[in-house]
Amino acid sequence: MSRLTPGQRLAKGVSGALFALVLLVLYAPFAVMTSLSFQERGTAVFPPQEFSFVSYQKLLEPNNYSLFTIAGEPLTNYFPPLRLSLILGLLTAVVATVFALMAALAFRRSFRGRGPLFYVLLLGMLTPGVILGLGMRLLADQVGLGAHWYTTGLLLHVAWTMPFGFIVFLIFLNRYDASVEEAAASLGASRWTVFRTVTLPLLAPGVMGSLLFGFTLSLDEVQRSSFVMGSDQTLPMELLAVTGVRITPVVYALGSLIAVVSFAFLALYFLGFERERRRTAVTAVEEEDDFTPAAPPAAAA
Amino acid sequence: MPVSVRTLPTPAGATERAPAGPDHAAQLRLQARRRRRETALLLAPALLWVLVAVALPLAMVVWVSFWRADGATLVHTFDLDTWSGVVGSGAFRSIGVQTLKVVAIVLAVVATVGLLCGYFLARFVRSKRTATLLLMLAILPFWTSYVIRIITWQPLFGNRGVLNWLLLELGLIDQPASAFLYNETAMICAMASLYVVFVIGPVYWALSRIDDDVIAASRSLGASAWKTFWKIEFPLAKGGLVAGCFFAAIFLFGDYATEQLIGGGTNPALSGTIRAIAGSGQWPTAAALSVCLLAMTAIVLGIFMKIHDLRREL
């Protein structure tokens, strides 16, 4: 862009300030939470009064009751809900990704009812969560199915995340060149071999994206879970329940740990993604060098 | 068809070598049938799942809304008692209006802020690398825990939170203000911060795909920067804007936890009301309200699809 007009300079200033504000609002809570997790008793008091690791200790030793000295403090063991959430998240991610990939592959062809079925497949994403939770509970009661994480819980979590995977795969499938598959097929590869050795590797970023959606959305799910988990308590449900009683620094300690772990995990994910993208982008540019003497720098996705 | 159609290749050029005639026709029919079967098999698991986990529960909600609750016992009838109670209630009507109002305000905030931020990243950040990095920074918190994010609003904005401490230290106020938490404004700010990322990303991607030459051409032909924005950049960013609002609306209509924790239960939305009423065992009333919420969501999402067919973005 050449020289900015005064109006554009104003727009730059305003939008830049707004973006900075957005980043501040997004990250300040994490910073505050982490700083508060190191104090001993106060709940929402800033600045922190003292410095101690006792909240983390409480988190790790939930049965060591001598640590819990704040009046009315919830004695919550977060390990069982955490384990349950991780298992449910992994299961949801895998099931949703496999089914979403299959459906997306079917959508490469035209068939009767393709238009309406597109919306049907997205229904689980479009319906407000509370309604699905209520409906699933009513249905389960009607047919005598017990509400557990592995029955109604898994059903709803997959129904919620599968459409995201489906969209991810449609986006990838619409952007990649089907001629490589034709090349493989014309060289004699069977359809299964084509899928395994050509289609699936090309879709690998899509698979990763779909798994990430499935796992994180499930790990975070509260809207749909309220009526369908029975006595099984997932981590976000447990956190909401505890918050209703009293927020203690233990919650902040847990939140800080979750934030650190997920930021680290996501950083690794995006780094891997970026490296993969650059690797493929570089080879593409190198190949084009013969035709375009001054190859433009690899454009961002 | 907006969703582009690609067919799988025919294996090893079998059709070309097949002799013309009845044999050939039969072979083609066989192939078509095999493809249909394959499509059906690929679709079956997902469709079956949607049927059991989405369609049947929705049907159940509609059905139960015609039941009646006499005290704690459910009467499996088919009458309009529940519905007349729901439709006739001024309280429920005002909750419905309140729900729409909050969603509309949050969407307006999210669209404005998201558009400006996306524009900033695409147009005013010189290096593409920096822009991508900043975008990643904005997206990252979405992938962490939503519950954790709303819990942290208390130490930030509560009576003894950071903002009050800051204002006290600066001498701007004499005593802690309670205006930052447990009210509608706080709730709207929190929701906007949760969902603004849906708009920033798509708007940035849409704008960054516009060729610089197009902008330069518009300017050299005499259009002002303002006119260039409205005639070229905004129409091209519209898809991203609508997509962002669409997804924000999906989350907003069902979000009851933000309202509870940050709104402080002062401005109940339909989702929270449904949850509370169902929790007290009044299933038919909750079901009828769910049907209302579903209709509301369908209309709003339908309007977004009318403004811009999102299948074009796939």
Q: In this structure, are residues B293 and B271 in contact, taking their beta carbons and an 8 Å threshold?
A: yes
For domain A79-233, which architecture applies?
A: Orthogonal Bundle (1.10)
Asked if A102 and B4 come within 8 Å (Cβ–Cβ), the reply is no
Q: Say if residue B163 is in the same domain as residue B34.
A: no
Question: What confidence tens digit (pLDDT) does each residue in A24-46 have?
Answer: 989 988 888 888 888 776 555 66
CB contact under 8 A, A134 and B47: no
Domain membership flag for residue B210: yes
The C-alpha atoms of residue B308 and residue B239 are separated, in whole angstroms, by 6
What is the percent of chain B where pLDDT is above 70?
Answer: 93
Kindly tell me the number of DSSP H helices and DSSP E strands found in chain B.
Answer: 17, 2
Distance from CA of A234 to the nearest CA of B (A): 12
Is B230's Cβ below 8 Å from some Cβ in A?
no
Residue B12 lies in a domain: no
Chain B residues whose CB is inside 8 A of the A142 CB are: 60
Answer whether A150 touches B (CB < 8 Å): no
Residue with tokens 């749909």: A224
Q: Cα–Cα–Cα angle for A75, A76, A82, nearest 5°?
A: 170
Q: How confident is the model at residue B100 (pLDDT cuts 50, 70, 90)?
A: very high
Question: Which of A60-64, A116-120, B249-253, B282-286 is the least confident region?
Answer: A60-64
Say yes or no: A264 contacts chain B, CB-CB below 8 A.
no
Task: For residue B300, give the amino acid letter.
Answer: V
Report how many domains make up chain B: 2
Which of B11, B38, B53 is the last residue before a domain boundary?
B53
- C-alpha separations of A205 from A16, A211, B153, B193, B254 in Å: 31, 10, 34, 28, 30
A71 at interface of B, judged by CB pairs closer than 8 A: no
Chain B: closest CA distance from residue A214 (Å): 11
Contact criterion met (CB < 8 Å) for A155 and B52: yes
> Are A76 and A242 contacting, i.e. CB atoms less than 8 angstroms apart?
yes
Residues B43, B176, single domain; the answer is no
Q: Please tell me the predicted confidence (pLDDT) of residue A72.
A: 66
Domain extent, residue B27, equals 22-53
Q: Decide the pairing of beta strands B68-70 and B73-75.
A: antiparallel
Task: Check if the beta carbon of residue A26 is closer than 8 Å to that of residue A236.
Answer: no
* Residues of A with Cβ-Cβ distance to B165 under 8 angstroms: 46-47
- Percentage of chain B modeled with pLDDT above 90: 42
CATH number for the domain including B211? 1.10.3720.10
B196 shares its domain with B95: yes
Q: Give the lowest-confidence range in A247-256, B46-55, B192-201.
A: A247-256
Mean pLDDT of chain B: 86
Partner residue opposite B271 with nearest CB, options A36, A130, A254: A130
Low-confidence ranges of chain A (pLDDT < 70): 1-2, 41-49, 69-72, 280-301
C-beta atoms of A18 and B253 within 8 A? no
pTM above 0.90, yes or no: no
Query: Is residue B279 a part of any domain in this protein?
Result: yes
Interface of A with B in 213-232 (CB under 8 A): 216, 219-220, 222-223, 226-227
Which chain B residues have a beta carbon less than 8 Å from that of A102?
Answer: 42-43, 45-46
Q: Please tell me the least confidently modeled range out of A173-177, A291-295, B48-52, B255-259.
A: A291-295
Q: Residues spanned by CATH 1.10.3720.10 within chain A?
A: 79-233
Q: Which of B60, B120, B128 sits opposite A15 (nearest CB)?
A: B120
